[in-house]
Amino acid sequence: MPARWPFAKYHGLGNDFLVGPDSRGFDAGRAQRLCARHTGVGADGVMLVSSRRGRHAVRIFNADGSEATFSGNGIRCAAAYLFAAGVASPLELATPAGPVRVERLRGVSMRLSFAIDALRRPGDPPVRSVALPAGLGKSFWRAFHVVLGNPHLILPVDDAERLEPGAAEALDRARGSSRRFPGGINVSLVAPISRDSFRLRTWERGVGLSPSCASGACAALLAGVTARFLPSAVRFVQDGGTVGVRTGDGQMSLEGPIELAFTGEA
């Protein structure tokens, strides 16, 4: 039986993570069992944190046990865990996607910032318009493929709450394993509310419909600025609440709350 693992459960607008030390032997099966809503602790993912000589790093598991490269909310949850342990703000975290900076602001608000190119790998495509899978063409007028730490499909819509018949099923096909996206993909719907406020709903690979997806918000803004359907600074209203995202000069930042739910051992 594996040793007990001490953790803290944090969430960013309902997108919740179990954060604890990067223990030897911690594997996908354990992450999946811990994240199970009815038989485990329950979470959207696990963040394994390590610190050595003043440098901090994180490994990321999705709820289904798959490993992720980037999670905007998860990374800020990992930073909150380190801040609670006495690490000074701001701090830099090494992630599988690249280095990011997190700083504690007023109250429970935290800002994530990074250089866009730092999260891109050689061979990653630029933001590009893509043809939609069969069954989606009548529901969405444009689609953009974005790789920003994770792969994303950004879909501008008039109403993010309504989908035409068959479109939800096609969304599942698009975000699951397919010939076009063999590793799965995050899918986000973006709809206007006002000049600088937009509705955002994201289906995360390995998780499902998320109350809040910070990486999806960053990817949506990058697609929107590149394709000129979003300004460079916006508020994204998600099911769990609102985050502010801005970009410029090759940088991206996101600000929103991170809160502690409870601590425990498992």
pLDDT digits (tens, 9 = 90+) for 19-45: 999 988 899 999 999 999 999 999 999
**What is the per-residue pLDDT across 71-103, written as a single tens digit (0 to 9) for each?**
999 999 999 999 999 999 999 999 999 999 999
The Cα 195–Cα 170 span in angstroms is 30
User: Is residue 123 situated within a structural domain?
Assistant: no
Q: What is the DSSP letter of 239?
A: S
149 and 166 fall within a common domain: yes
CATH number of the domain that 165 lies in? 3.10.310.10
98 and 173 fall within a common domain: no
pLDDT at 136: 66
Q: Which residues contact 140 (CB under 8 A, 6 or more apart)?
A: 132, 155, 156, 157, 167
Q: Answer yes or no: are the C-beta atoms of 206 and 184 closer than 8 Å.
A: yes
Q: Which residues contact 173 (CB under 8 A, 6 or more apart)?
A: 133, 135
155 vs 162, more confident: 155
User: Is residue 122 situated within a structural domain?
Assistant: no
77 and 108 fall within a common domain: yes
Beta-bridged to residue 265, according to DSSP, are 6
Q: How many independent structural domains does the chain possess?
A: 2
pLDDT at 12: 98
Q: Which residues contact 80 (CB under 8 A, 6 or more apart)?
A: 10, 19, 104, 110, 258, 260
245 and 142 fall within a common domain: yes
The Cα 196–Cα 189 span in angstroms is 16
136 and 240 fall within a common domain: yes
113 and 142 fall within a common domain: no
111 and 170 fall within a common domain: no
Residue 17's pLDDT band (cuts 50, 70, 90): very high
pLDDT at 131: 78
73 and 138 fall within a common domain: no
pLDDT value at 167 more than 90: no
Q: What is the DSSP letter of 23?
A: -
196 and 137 fall within a common domain: yes
216 and 241 fall within a common domain: yes
pLDDT value at 69 more than 90: yes
Q: Answer yes or no: are the C-beta atoms of 93 and 99 closer than 8 Å.
A: yes
Mean pLDDT (the chain) is: 91
Mean pLDDT of 212-237: 97
Residue 31's domain comprises: 6-117+256-265
pLDDT value at 172 more than 70: no
Among 37-41, 94-98, 145-149, 235-239, name the one with the lowest average pLDDT. Answer: 145-149
User: Is residue 73 situated within a structural domain?
Assistant: yes
pLDDT value at 170 more than 70: no
156 and 109 fall within a common domain: no
pLDDT at 37: 96
The Cα 136–Cα 1 span in angstroms is 47
59 and 153 fall within a common domain: no
